[in-house]
Amino acid sequence: MKRGIQTRYIALGDALRSTPHSRRYSVIALRIMAETTSNNPPHVMVHGGAAGFAQQIQVGAHQLSADEPLESGGTDTGPSPYDLLLAALGSCTSMTIGLYARRRNWPLQEVVVSLWHSKIHAADCAECETKEGRIDRIEREIQLIGSLTNEQRSKLMEMADKCPVHRTLTSEINIRTTEKLSPSQQS
């Protein structure tokens, strides 16, 4: 598990490495991630009642909500899980592009990332390995605002695929699930 996390951060460090400061940041990120184990308190906690879809999410010091829309049986008190997934990819994409441009003092003023999620027939996807059944498709549209050269725009668009969340979503993912017993069940 630690090796997979390190690999993702090494890739980001390689992608953004241009100054001694960014190399130090990569090493610090690797050390922090390598120390993370399942024995530490969770960084994300999600609480929800069994009666509906509404969820309360604690991410460090931040509080969020998640729910399903009314037409899906929810109460629409927050974004859906897929909306949160798209938000994670979009924000990571924008942060990565912005960081790359700042490190090079390029005149990027703003990044706007728009995303859509859908399920499509695998047969309709020429570039996909899977050829049967349905697959998830995420469409991402990036607007780069600023007086950038064509070469700079091209490089920034290339960086979009190097954001850590993009790399996670397009790599093999191993999710380990265990049950945590309540105190009354531990007797």
Please spell the DSSP secondary structure of 136-157, one letter per residue. Answer: EEEEEEEEEEES--HHHHHHHH
Cα–Cα distance for residue pair 40/90, rounded to 1 Å? 28
- The pLDDT assigned to 25 comes to 41
Supply the pLDDT for residue 12. 38
The confidence score (pLDDT) of residue 68 equals 96
Q: What is the DSSP letter of 173?
A: -
Question: Which position has the higher pLDDT, 32 or 184?
Answer: 184
Q: Whole-angstrom distance between the N-terminal and C-terminal Cα of the chain?
A: 31
Please choose, from the candidates 67, 87, 62, 86, the residue with its C-alpha nearest in 3D space to the C-alpha of residue 77: 67
Mind listing the pLDDT tens digit for each residue in 56-103? 999 999 999 999 999 999 999 999 999 999 999 999 999 999 999 999
Q: Taking the CA atoms of the chain, what radius of gyration do you get in angstroms?
A: 20
Which SS3 state, helix, strand or coil, does residue 50 take? Answer: coil
Q: Residue 126: how many CB atoms within 10 A of its CB?
A: 5
Binned at pLDDT 50, 70 and 90, residue 124 comes out as: confident
pLDDT reported for residue 187:
65
Kindly report, residue by residue over 5-15, the tens digit of the pLDDT: 333 333 333 33
Q: Over the range 39-55, which residues count as b (16 or more CB within 10 Å of their CB) and which as e?
A: eeeeeeeeeeeeeebbb
| Sign of the dihedral through C-alpha 179, 72, 173, 155 | negative
- β-partners of residue 143 are 112
Contact 15, 167 (CB under 8 A): no
Helical ranges in the chain per DSSP H: 2-16, 20-35, 81-103, 150-160, 164-169
Strands 44-48 and 108-121: unpaired
Report DSSP state, residue 133.
S
Report the alpha-carbon distance of residue 153 to residue 144 in Å, rounded. 7
User: pLDDT at residue 28 above 70?
Assistant: no
